[in-house]
Amino acid sequence: MKLEEMILVSVDDHAIEPAGAFDRHMPERFKGRQPHIEQHGGRDVWVFEEQATGYMGLNSVVGRPKEEYGMEPLGYEQMRRGTWDIKARVDDMSANGILGSLCFPTFPGFAGQRFQNHPDRAVSLAAIQAYNDWHLHDWCNVAPGRFIPLMLVPWWDMQAAAAEVTRLAKLGVHAVSLSDNPALHGFPSIHSDYWDPLWKACADNKVVICCHIGTGIKAEHASELSPIDAWITSMPISIANSAADWIWAPMWKKFPDLRMALSEGGIGWIPYLLERADFTHRHHHAWTNADFGGKKPSDIFRKHFITCFIEDDFGLRNLPDVGEDMVTWECDYPHSDCTWPNSPEIAWESLKRLPKASIDKVTHLNAMREFSYDPFALLGRENCTVGALRAQATHVSTEPALGMGGAAPKREKGKPVTSGDINAMFAQADAQTAL
């Protein structure tokens, strides 16, 4: 197998919602109350119900030279167009040899957190549904076969959540974004039967629950003086605590066809987590009353949990211990961790030692099966390879764009950028976006 013959499907990318995304899809009775863009303090700011959100930061630095990472875009003109323009995004995907992409939200929060605690539930539900309709019709469906659509649901009404899953599944949406720990947002624990209507709707409609890092338990800054590198390092592994919580959760017995994804979580840490989980069950289930019906915790994980990686040599070297049939790949465009425009070259360095069957599984077949995604039927397999897609995108410049502008964290020559520097930048951004 050659690099150019790979087929890459990314199960974790992000869309920066364009200005006006909600306008066409908000119900008539709520016109004028839809989320919209305003200018505040020289920033493009999303405003919803008089609450402003403007920070995009490391979420949208793709295309800049790495030396300019940390330069935080203040507006759309300071981002690569593919971050928010769907046609430019497809071009960037093709230039990067990527066939398919699942895109998480930005302004709403990766799991729609910004819509969940608003006192006017009716306008919040309308905003969630408007987002879903924009994402499906104005983003994914503009380029048939190139995207895995993802929905948001209300957390405060499980009947409404189940209805939204059913509505969108009929339109071909088989992924929903949810916090890895909704209890941290004031909602019931995943161990409560409160969520059962949602789990049932997802299981019945083959909808994957996608839990992105940072939507619940987050990587913590060790101190204000700690280099920001330490915080970035711990980001993927931060979801391990939630992974353990989900392994012991009750929904797998009730809904045996249910699936979840640990989005942007990496895979190298998983073998030890599963070893520890099995150890815990052997040593403690007699007094904790844990009951897996004769199975081990690792069996539950390997059946129900989809994992993904950007670069993970250790995880790929230990693929049998991770669970080869549920591992997927990601690009993370347009975040600072993304490998654009060299994703195939970077992935190939780790994958080339594996058998072709394993490469095909982790690059596209697992994602296609679990997310009910069949681009070959629309595009033809021969048009879906890295080589074929790049041949269609020779007009796309992938050269780093210098001096795109924005706000920079405080820097001193020879001194590491610290968590304190980044927190100060966040505070400045919050002040600039205040209404």
260-263 and 36-40 as β-strands: parallel, antiparallel, unpaired?
Answer: unpaired
Please answer whether residues 200 and 194 qualify as being in contact, where contact means their C-beta atoms are separated by less than 8 angstroms: no
Q: What is the rounded average pLDDT of the residues 243-249?
A: 98
Q: What is the rounded average pLDDT of the residues 68-91?
A: 91
Establish how many alpha carbons lie within 13 A of residue 314's alpha carbon, considering only the half-sphere containing its beta carbon: 7
Q: What is the pLDDT of residue 6?
A: 98
pTM of the model: 0.96
Residue 244 has pLDDT above 90, yes or no: yes
Residue 368 has pLDDT above 60, yes or no: yes
43-48 and 51-53 as β-strands: parallel, antiparallel, unpaired?
Answer: antiparallel
Q: How far is CA 390 from CA 247, 320, 332, 400, in A?
A: 40, 32, 19, 18
Residue 115 has pLDDT above 70, yes or no: yes
Nearest CA-CA partner of 128 in 100, 147, 103, 107: 107
| Backbone CA torsion sign across 274, 275, 276, 281 | positive
Q: What is the CATH number of the domain that holds 26?
A: 3.20.20.140
Q: What is the pLDDT of residue 324?
A: 96
pLDDT band at 431 (very low <50, low <70, confident <90, very high): low
Q: What is the rounded average pLDDT of the residues 417-430?
A: 79
Residue 432 has pLDDT above 80, yes or no: no
What domain range is 21 assigned to?
Answer: 3-433
Residue 435 has pLDDT above 60, yes or no: no
Q: What is the pLDDT of residue 218?
A: 87
pLDDT band at 55 (very low <50, low <70, confident <90, very high): low
Name the amino acid, one letter, at 209. I
Residue 421 has pLDDT above 90, yes or no: no
Q: What is the pLDDT of residue 430?
A: 66
Domain count, the chain: 1
Instruction: Of 35-49, 293-307, 418-432, give the lowest mean pLDDT range.
Output: 418-432
Whole-number percent of the chain with pLDDT over 90: 85
pLDDT band at 54 (very low <50, low <70, confident <90, very high): low
Residue 150 has pLDDT above 60, yes or no: yes
Average pLDDT, the chain: 94
